[in-house]
């Protein structure tokens, strides 16, 4: 174990060295190179798990372990997210009080577009996630916004993900210094250690994927958002990307941020961009 761990740590150091080499600490905005970052990031995981095909990373902990994979395949026969999917489909088709629908707010009527979220809005200068876009759609049509973490929001995003299954993440970083800044900011948040336990997101999802933390198997950061939203037995229900971020922060005794805060949206932008090319697999089911 110690031996293996040393090797593992060694490769992490090498990957970090590669990351650093590819993206020198930002001095001027024109030095940020997200494409090189994404390449180094993906190569790190491909080398660490040489037996996995790229598209297999999108199943989170299930991609890391044969026994778990079998459990997952069994689960997919009677997926626990089915109720949310059905509810989401119905909600999506039901007009608001003003007669309009969600379809009116999105390109292609909202069908098969999950892989393009989040995007950077150059007018507003902000990252727009699917969850945020859904609540904005509601508010623009005179409806109250939903909670970002579960229930209706999870149902709607489950349905939208489902119509996009198999489509590769296609996150764009427009030629706008603010977009690069959002990417860098998300990356910084992801690698910064915080809280009493001194963990960064990367401590668990880059340094330790496939390892057990107590009984849970840690998902790799590559493809970590492709299956969102997810059903978790531990939650006895569905959770959105927002819910997972909040849970990871609070479980590690770090102060969670508000769902859809600037930092969380930037992290989502970063994590989605570095998973470009990997297929949407949501909604997902987890142990």
Partner 1 sequence: MLRNDALTAFPRKPALAAALALLAGLLGSPAHAQSAADGQKLAFDRGKGNCLTCHVIKGGDLPGSIGPELKDIKAKYPDRNELVAIVSDEPKRNPQSVMPPFGRNRILTEQEINAIVDFLQTL
Among 98, 166, 212, 261, binds partner 1 (CB under 8 A): 212
Which H or E element spans position 120?
A: strand 119-121
Tokens of 88: 């989401």
Token pair for 277: 């090319």
Question: Does 233 interact with partner 1 (rule: CB under 8 A)?
Answer: no
Q: Which residues contact 150 (CB under 8 A, 6 or more apart)?
A: 235, 237, 238, 239, 240, 243
Q: How many CB atoms lie within 10 A of CB 199?
A: 20
Task: Compute the least distance from the CB of residue 1 to partner 1, in Å.
Answer: 5
Q: Judge contact between 155 and 238, C-beta under 8 A.
A: yes
Rounded to the nearest 5°, which phi and psi values hold at 55? -70, -10
The interface partner of residue 212, options being partner 1, ligand HEC, none and the CB cut-off 5 to 8 Å by kind, is: partner 1
| Span from 24-32, 92-100, 105-113, 221-229 in contact with ligand HEC (CB under 6 A) | 221-229
To the query of whether residue 105 is one of the catalytic residues in this protein, the response is no
Q: Which of residues 250-269 bind ligand HEC (CB under 6 A)?
A: 252, 267
Q: Among ligand HEC, partner 1, none, what does residue 275 contact (CB within 5–8 Å per kind)?
A: none
Indicate whether 229 belongs to the interface with ligand HEC (CB under 6 A): no
Cβ at position 141, least distance to ligand HEC in Å: 29
Among 128, 151, 144, 113, CA closest to 229 = 151
User: Is residue 250 at the binding interface for partner 1, with CB under 8 A as the rule?
Assistant: no
Return the H-helix or E-strand segment holding 92: helix 82-93
- Which residues contact ligand HEC (rule: CB under 6 A)? 2, 60-61, 199, 201, 203-205, 213, 216, 218-219, 224-225, 227, 230, 244-245, 248-249, 252, 267, 286
User: Which positions are annotated as active-site residues?
Assistant: 248
């Amino acid at each position: 174990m110690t031996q293996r761990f040393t090797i593992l740590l060694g490769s992490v150091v090498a990957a970090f060295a590669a990351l650093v080499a590819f993206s020198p600490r930002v001095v001027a905005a024109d030095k940020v190179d997200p494409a090189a970052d994404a390449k180094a990031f993906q190569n790190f995981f491909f080398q660490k798990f040489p037996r996995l095909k790229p598209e297999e990373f999108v199943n989170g902990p299930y991609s890391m372990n044969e026994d778990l994979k079998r459990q997952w395949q069994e689960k997919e026969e009677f997926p626990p997210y089915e109720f949310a999917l059905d509810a989401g489909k119905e909600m999506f088709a039901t007009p608001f009080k003003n007669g309009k629908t969600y379809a009116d707010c999105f390109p292609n009527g909202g069908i098969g577009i999950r892989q393009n979220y989040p995007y950077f809005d150059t007018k507003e200068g902000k990252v727009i996630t699917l969850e945020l876009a859904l609540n904005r759609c509601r508010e623009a049509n005179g409806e109250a916004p939903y909670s970002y973490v579960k229930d209706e929001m999870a149902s709607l995003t489950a349905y939208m993900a489902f119509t996009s299954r198999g489509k590769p993440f296609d996150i764009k970083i427009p030629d706008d210094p603010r977009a690069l800044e959002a990417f860098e900011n998300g990356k910084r948040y992801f690698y910064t250690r915080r809280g009493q336990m001194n963990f960064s997101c990367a401590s668990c999802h880059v340094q330790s994927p496939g390892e057990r933390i107590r009984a849970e198997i840690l998902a790799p950061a590559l493809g970590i958002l492709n299956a969102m939203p997810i059903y978790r037995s531990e939650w006895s229900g569905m959770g959105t990307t927002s819910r997972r971020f909040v849970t990871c922060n609070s479980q590690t005794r770090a102060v969670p941020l508000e769902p859809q805060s600037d930092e969380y949206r930037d992290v989502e932008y970063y994590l989605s961009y570095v998973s470009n090319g990997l297929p949407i697999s949501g909604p997902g089911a987890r142990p």
